[in-house]
Structures are given as C-alpha cells and as structure tokens.
C-alpha cells in the first residue's frame, strides 16, 4: 500500500505508545507532512503539554477512512519544536488493514432519547438503550413496542462521552427477543439519516476507539 497516496496532510490519526511497563496509551494526532522518507505528525499531548518521544522508539499509528481501519508500526526519527511541536517518524514498510469499519458493531449500552409519531398518528417520547452501535446506525432495546413501521423516521438524541448527538434515524428492523430472564424486549435497528459531518466524525472516532480496545483484548 502506497503510504503517500493513502495518507494525506491534515488527516486525523491516533498515536499509540507503550511505556516501559508495556502499558499502552493513545493520543489524537494528525498528519502534518509526508516526505520521501518520513511522515511528520503533530506531537502527542499529555496534560495540554507535548511530550518528548525518544528517537528510535517504536510507535503504532492508527487511521481510518470510509472503508476500513489501518495501522502501522514505525520508528521515531526526531522531535521538532519550532512553534508547533511535531514528531517525525519513518515511513512504514507495511500497513495492516485491520477491519472494515462499517460492518463492525460495538456491543455497548448507551441511553437514547427517541421522539416520533407512531403509526396511529400519536406523538411519542421514550428513553431506551442501545445494544450495539456502528458507524452506520445502532440497535435499540425497548421495553414496550415502538408502534412504527419499517422505513419510518425517528428523532434521536444520545451522548458519546461528553458529545451530544442529535440526528434522525430510519427504522430498518423491528422484532422481539427474549433476554436471559425470559423477558421479551422490542429490538429495533435504526440507520442514521441526515447526520451532520461533525457528528459523523464523533461517532466514527468513538467506534474506532472501541474497536482498538476490543482488538487489543482479542475480542475483535
């Protein structure tokens, strides 16, 4: 894979660094420049201060596009501090395609507020929880029937970390399942619609981070 063609300046990435005890930490970064032999990244920031990464250290760089998640390991060449702290790393020999992002669903429970008009023409507002979430939508678990049809739209509000997401969703699945206690739950699949670009990036980043965590644990 051609790194220069695949990565672009201003592209968001994550830098993963292992400390002496083998503990992994991840830091948001971006591509500043791509040369013939090196890639220049924004330096990792800790407590609002850029920190020094010893030359010769191996780091992992993670990035993503609309199709997949990628990662590569590279060596640090030097730290640059000319106004903006930067980190120059060697261009990698190999890039690993980790996962097709849109097909991966992260199993996680998040509170979601729905408002919609049901098939009887009544306006409803309910709280429910997610069973999983992906870059394209989420699976919801309800205690009562949604009383809507496939392809109907609902208004959705939920938080990922501290970010409030407000968007529409199209119902693509509506079924019933029994939980471990034998209690039936309404399982509703919703596809995101009219999602603002800012919110799209928040969701992609959230799912991306969870994928990395699961992959490190051997669960993905």
Predicted confidence (pLDDT) per residue in 67-117, tens digit: 677 889 999 999 998 888 999 999 988 888 776 555 567 888 999 999 999
φ/ψ of residue 47, rounded to 5: 55, 40
The structural domains of the chain, with segments of one domain joined by +, span 3-99, 106-216
Chain centroid offset of residue 214 CA? 12
Paired residues of 171 in beta bridges: 190
CATH of 106-216, one of 3.40.50.720, 3.40.220.10, 1.10.468.10, 2.40.10.220: 2.40.10.220
Query: Is pLDDT larger for residue 208 or for residue 42?
Result: 42
Regarding pTM above 0.95, the answer is no
CA dist 179 and 54 (Å) reads 51
- DSSP type of residue 43: P
Question: What average pLDDT does the chain have?
Answer: 85
CATH architecture of 3-99: Roll (2.30)
Residue 72 belongs to what H/E stretch? Answer: strand 69-82
CA dist., res. 147 & res. 190, Å (int): 14
Burial of 76 (0-12, 13-18, 19+ CB in 10 A): buried
């Amino acid at each position: 894979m051609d790194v220069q063609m695949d990565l672009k300046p201003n592209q968001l990435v994550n830098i993963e660094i292992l400390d002496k005890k083998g503990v992994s930490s991840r830091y948001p970064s971006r591509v500043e420049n791509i040369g013939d032999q090196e890639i220049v990244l924004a330096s990792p920031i800790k407590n609002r201060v850029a920190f020094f990464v010893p030359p010769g250290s191996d780091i992992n760089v993670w990035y993503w596009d609309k199709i997949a998640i990628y990662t590569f390991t590279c060596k640090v060449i030097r730290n640059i501090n000319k106004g903006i702290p930067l980190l120059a790393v060697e261009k990698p020999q190999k890039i690993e395609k980790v996962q097709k992002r849109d097909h991966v669903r992260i199993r996680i429970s998040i509170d979601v507020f729905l408002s919609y008009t049901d098939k009887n023409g009544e306006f409803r507002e309910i709280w429910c929880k997610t069973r999983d979430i992906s870059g394209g939508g989420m699976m919801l678990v309800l205690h009562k029937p949604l009383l809507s049809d496939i392809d109907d739209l609902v208004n959705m509000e939920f938080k990922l970390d501290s970010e409030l997401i407000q968007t529409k969703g199209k119902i693509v699945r509506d079924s019933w399942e029994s939980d471990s206690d034998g209690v039936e739950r309404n399982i509703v699949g919703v596809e995101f619609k009219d999602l603002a670009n800012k919110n799209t990036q928040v969701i992609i980043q959230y799912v991306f981070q969870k994928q990395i965590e699961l992959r490190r644990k051997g669960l993905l």
